[in-house]
Chain A
Amino acid sequence: MGIIKTEKLSYEYIRRDDEGNVSGVTRAVDDVSIDVTQGEFIAILGHNGSGKSTLAKHINAILTPSEGEIWVDGINTAEAARIWDVRQKAGMVFQNPDNQIIGQLVEEDVGFGPENLGVPTDQIWERVEESLKLLGMLEYSKHSPNKLSGGQKQRVSIAGVLAMHPKCIIFDEPTAMLDPHGRREVVRAARALNDVEKITIVLITHYMEETIYADRLFVMDHGRIAMEGTPKEIFSQVEKLEELRLGVPQATKVAYELKKAGMPIPDGILTRQELREALKACL
């Protein structure tokens, strides 16, 4: 069993009217079975309301499934007694950087997680320094988070999760509120943690460009896994993606249109670099 495994996981949001009667049920996640191996970098892609965030909240045991089961590092998240173990093993970075920073200083925020875990004081300081160093934020440790840029705030949030020594970090649309520069910062940090620290990464996003470095990519639609495969495999199916109201990375789109117009360009081009190479080969 991998670090994250779900089996026929479903989750229903129950809407109630003013009297508390059930007025409707929305199946946000529907029959999802995935298995993520330790050290993998996976990305989950989907448009708004596809259920990707709901799925993410299951990995951190913020939500527990209505049907089916989910295990994180072998622990069933439905076991209420072990919920804190799950949350320590699977850290989560949220969308809005302002709403997840608790500390008045950068270092205090990074120390918040270890404090909650009951780590002794001297080890908290070691963890804080180590995490901030890894995210390149050590020089800001005495700064107020309010004065940082969006990308820097998000890096502080990641450091805060990292200081809890998780096996896996879930990024729930961490770049949705950032400018392009901040987006690059965050994605680079996620990749570095995966490469260097061998931490399993689950990146949830609706930006195609961020998913091309993933080992595996899941596309969600109406709560179901609509497509699964490597980014190359997924992005070569341009028509199917467009059917799911998703675009493809710019370079892929250009390559696809050129191929349709009759140029001999291979499938599955993801980056500008690859497109350049392919075009050179044509000439």
Chain B
Amino acid sequence: MVREITIGQYYDEESVIHRLDPRVKLVATLVYIVAIFVVDSIAGYALVALFLAACIMLSKVPVKYIVKGLKPVMIILLLTVVFNMLLTPGETLFKFGIINISKEGLKAGSTMALRLILLITGSSLMTLTTTPNNLTDGMEKLLNPLKYIKVPVHEIAMMMSIALRFIPILLEETDIIMKAQMARGADFESGNIFKRAKAMVPLLVPLFVSAFRRANDLAMAMEARCYRGGDGRTKMKPLKYLRRDYIAYAIIWLFLAGCIVLRILL
């Protein structure tokens, strides 16, 4: 079940976007999100969509793959549109009994949907083109200044990368425990949602116990290999800005400037 969600799963490909420094991609995603909420005209949305399309083209990730990733959020999208249409007061467009669709509501709904689609596609493009490890490395580097206000940046990044490393292992383990419980007559599939949730308890308890045991083992193995926090540690793959990264920075800031200009002019 968990495996079916493709949104934000790394898609291996050789492209400029893939090779960009993760810090650039993180900053660019933030700037892009700001830009989505800056623009408010058709020309503005066109510019954002064009920019996104260009990035997707450059990344060589198939459009089909990205669209597939949008499916799980379709329901949320539809709900947003419907609620916006029905609940925004204004000039009536249609009227069926108590249902009242206003012109403003239609506009607000479609704007919101457009923004959400652009937002999700854009941010999933970042995770599609960056390995989880690169991403945590980039975050660690970007958040580094927070160290001075005693935020354990290195530790947070290390925790994230360990969590990512153990996801497949714990999934496999869940599968094994589930089969072991089913072999002894456990029923995970029938009954209503409460019954099924209750059936999960004998699954979760052994899973938790084993996760703690693994954590204990891993901590010992890390200490045995001289791990003592971030201080004095060197990097096997240090992040270094190259020419393409500076160019990417220039492009993204120009893009934001363009969006602001459009907002002011139109």
Contact = CB atoms under 8 A, between A and B. Distances in A.
Chain A interface mostly: helix
Q: How large is the interface on B (under 10, 10 to 19, 20 to 34, 35 or more residues)?
A: 20 to 34
A146 B167 CA distance: 10
A64 interface: no
Nearest to A98: B169
A91 B225 CA distance: 7
A43 B132 CA distance: 41
B175 to A, nearest CB: 14
Contacts of B164: 104
A124 interface: yes
A15 B227 CA distance: 28
Given A98-B169, A98-B214, A99-B214, A119 B225 contact: no
B37 to A, nearest CB: 34
A152 interface: no
B169 to A, nearest CB: 6
Interface string B71-105: 00000000000000000000000000000000000
B224 interface: yes
Contacts of A112: 222, 225, 227
A234 B142 CA distance: 60
Given A98-B169, A104-B165, A164-B225, A115 B220 contact: no
A103 interface: yes
Interface string B226-264: 111000111111100000000000000000000000000
Contacts of B217: 94, 96, 99-100
A92 interface: yes
Interface string A68-102: 00000000000000001001100110101011111
Given A98-B214, A114-B234, 17 more contacts: A62-B223, A98-B169, A99-B214, A99-B221, A100-B218, A100-B221, A102-B221, A104-B133, A108-B133, A112-B222, A115-B234, A116-B226, A119-B234, A120-B234, A121-B234, A121-B238, A146-B169
26 contacts: A62-B224, A87-B223, A91-B225, A92-B224, A94-B224, A96-B217, A98-B214, A100-B217, A100-B218, A102-B165, A105-B133, A107-B236, A108-B237, A112-B225, A113-B226, A114-B234, A115-B233, A116-B228, A121-B235, A121-B237, A124-B236, A146-B169, A160-B225, A161-B225, A164-B225, A164-B226
Interface of B: 131-133, 161-162, 164-165, 168-169, 214, 217-218, 220-228, 232-238
